[in-house]
C-alpha cells in the first residue's frame, strides 16, 4: 500500500507538452480514476509514476519519498496494460509464476505456489491454470494479466485502460471484480480510462485530465453534480449536461438566441451571478421535466428508447436540449410538448471562461 503524490509535473516530448503543472494526490488504499480523452496524457502520467519516463519538471513522491533517483524495479508498482502481454506458449500458471522468479530475489517455491493459488482464486481462473494462454478468451487473458500484477504484491497498481479491449458485458463484469479486488487487497489503485461511465462507477475519486492539465478532482458525485467547467459538464454524464447560452434577469434564466425563460432558485445562485452577465446554463437531462402545464413549449425532435427510460431531444427554436423521461411517457417526433426544469439543479458557467460560478475563486 502506498500514498502517491505528483507535484507540479510538466512533461515535454521535444516541442510537444504532454502534461502541464500536474498536481495529483492519491491516498493510501484509494481507487483513483484518471479520466481523459485520447491524447490527454493518461499513459504518460502512469509511466512517470512507474519510472518509465522522467518528468521535465516537478516531482513524484511515493509514501512521501521523492523517487526521482529510483528505477522502475525499485518503485514496486505494477502496470497493467490494455493490451495484455502474456507469454503465449506458456500456461497460465507459468505466466503467473514468472514475475516471482527473477534471478535475484527469487522467492521460495512454497511461497510462489501459495501466491499463484491465491491470485487464481481471487480472479476465478483456477480452472485455467494448466491451459496455454493463447487459447484463452480476451476476458480470461485480461484476468491473467491482472493476476501477474497481483502475485507481486506491489505497493501500487497502475492500470492503463485494462478493460477497453473487452466487449460491453465482460467489461461490466470485470469492473465489479476489479473494484472488489481493490477493496479486498486494500491496495492503492490508479486506473486510467477515457470511459466516463467506468470512471464514475469505479472511482472513490476521479481526476479529469484535459490536454495535459487536471481540470477537476473529486468524488464521482461532486464531479457529476458540480462540474468545474463546461468541459467536465459535457464530458461526464450520458447523455451529457444540457448547456444553453443566456443571462440572468431577476432570478430567471433568459436564453439567447432562442428567447425562452425558466426560473433559477436562490439555492442554485452564487456570487457572480449578476443580472445581464453572459452565462451558460447547465441542466442535467434528468432534471428536465415534461409536464402539461409547464412554462416552455418545445417540439419533440428525437426519441431514443433505453429500456427503463427514454431520452427525448427537445427543440425550442434553434436550441436543442435533452430530457430523460420514464419509458411509459408517450412522445412522438414533432409532437408539441411543454417542459420545465428543476430550478435548484441549474449550474451557471461564465460564458467567456466556461468556469462554473461556484468554482470561480
36 contact choice in ligand ATP, Mg ion, none (CB below 5 to 8 Å, kind-dependent): ligand ATP
Between 165 and 320, whose beta carbon lies closer to ligand ATP?
165
SS3 at position 180: helix
Please identify which residue in 22, 26, 32, 42 interacts with ligand ATP, judged by CB under 6 A.
42
CB 23 within 8 A of CB 45: no
- Answer for the pair 5, 19: CB distance below 8 angstroms, yes or no: no
- Least distance from C-beta 42 to ligand ATP, angstroms? 3
6 near ligand ATP (CB under 6 A): no
- In the list 175, 194, 205, 228, the residue contacting ligand ATP (rule: CB under 6 A) is 194
Give the DSSP per-residue string, 17-46.
EEEEEEEEEE-TT-EEEEEE-TTSSHHHHH
Instruction: Please say whether the beta carbons of 203 and 195 come within 8 A.
Output: no
Work out whether 207 is an interface residue with ligand ATP (CB under 6 A).
no
Instruction: State the binding partner of 328 from Mg ion, ligand ATP, none, CB within 5 to 8 A by kind.
Output: none
Cβ–Cβ under 8 Å, residues 220 and 203: yes
211 vs 38: CA distance, rounded Å: 9
| Contact region with ligand ATP (CB under 6 A), list: 39-47, 130-138, 262-270, 352-360 | 39-47
At a CB cut-off of 8 Å and minimum separation 6, what does 141 contact? 84, 86, 133
Q: Three cell numbers at 276?
A: 445581464
**Residues contributing to the site for Mg ion (CB under 5 A):** 42-43
- Measured torsion, CA atoms of residues 319, 320, 325, 328, in degrees rounded to the nearest 10: 100
Q: Closest separation between CB of residue 34 and ligand ATP, Å? A: 8
15 binds ligand ATP (CB under 6 A): no
Q: Which C-beta is closer to ligand ATP: that of 40 or that of 273?
A: 40
Q: Applying CB under 6 A, which residues contact ligand ATP?
A: 13, 16, 18, 36, 38-44, 194
Amino acid at each position: 500500500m502506498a500514498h502517491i503524490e505528483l507535484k507540479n509535473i510538466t512533461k515535454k516530448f521535444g516541442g510537444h507538452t504532454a502534461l502541464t503543472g500536474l498536481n495529483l494526490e492519491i491516498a493510501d488504499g484509494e481507487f483513483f480514476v484518471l479520466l481523459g480523452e485520447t491524447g490527454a496524457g493518461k499513459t504518460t502520467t502512469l509511466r512517470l509514476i512507474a519510472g518509465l519516463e522522467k518528468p521535465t519538471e516537478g516531482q513524484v513522491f511515493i509514501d512521501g519519498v521523492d523517487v526521482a533517483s529510483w528505477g522502475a524495479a525499485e518503485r514496486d508498482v505494477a502496470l497493467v496494460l490494455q493490451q495484455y502481454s502474456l507469454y503465449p506458449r506458456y500456461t497460465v500458471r507459468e505466466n503467473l509464476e514468472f514475475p516471482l522468479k527473477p534471478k535475484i530475489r527469487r522467492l521460495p517455491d512454497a511461497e510462489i505456489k501459495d501466491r499463484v493459488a491465491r491470485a487464481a482464486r481471487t480472479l476465478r481462473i483456477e480452472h485455467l491454470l494448466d491451459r496455454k494462454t493463447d487459447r484463452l478468451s480476451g476476458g480470461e487473458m485480461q484476468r491473467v494479466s491482472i493476476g501477474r500484477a497481483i502475485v507481486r504484491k506491489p505497493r501500487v497498481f497502475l492500470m492503463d485502460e485494462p478493460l477497453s479491449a473487452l466487449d460491453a458485458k465482460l467489461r461490466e463484469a470485470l469492473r465489479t471484480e476489479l473494484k472488489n479486488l481493490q477493496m479486498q487487497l486494500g491496495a492503492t489503485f490508479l486506473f486510467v480510462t477515457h470511459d466516463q461511465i467506468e470512471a464514475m462507477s469505479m472511482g472513490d475519486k476521479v481526476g479529469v485530465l484535459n490536454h495535459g492539465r487536471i481540470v477537476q478532482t473529486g468524488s464521482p458525485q461532486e464531479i457529476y453534480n458540480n462540474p468545474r467547467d463546461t468541459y467536465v459538464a459535457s464530458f461526464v454524464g450520458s447523455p451529457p449536461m444540457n448547456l444553453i447560452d443566456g443571462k440572468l434577469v431577476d432570478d430567471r434564466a433568459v436564453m439567447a438566441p432562442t428567447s425562452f425563460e425558466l426560473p433559477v432558485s436562490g439555492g442554485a445562485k452564487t456570487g457572480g451571478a449578476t443580472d445581464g452577465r453572459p452565462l451558460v446554463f447547465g441542466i442535467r437531462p434528468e432534471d428536465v421535466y415534461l409536464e402539461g402545464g409547464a412554462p416552455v413549449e418545445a417540439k419533440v425532435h428525437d426519441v431514443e428508447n433505453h429500456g427503463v427510460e427514454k431520452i427525448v431531444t427537445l427543440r425550442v427554436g434553434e436550441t436543442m436540449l435533452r430530457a430523460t423521461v420514464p419509458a411509459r411517457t408517450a412522445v412522438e417526433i414533432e409532437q408539441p410538448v411543454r417542459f420545465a426544469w428543476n430550478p435548484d439543479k441549474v449550474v451557471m458557467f461564465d460564458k467567456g471562461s466556461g468556469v462554473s460560478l461556484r468554482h470561480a475563486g
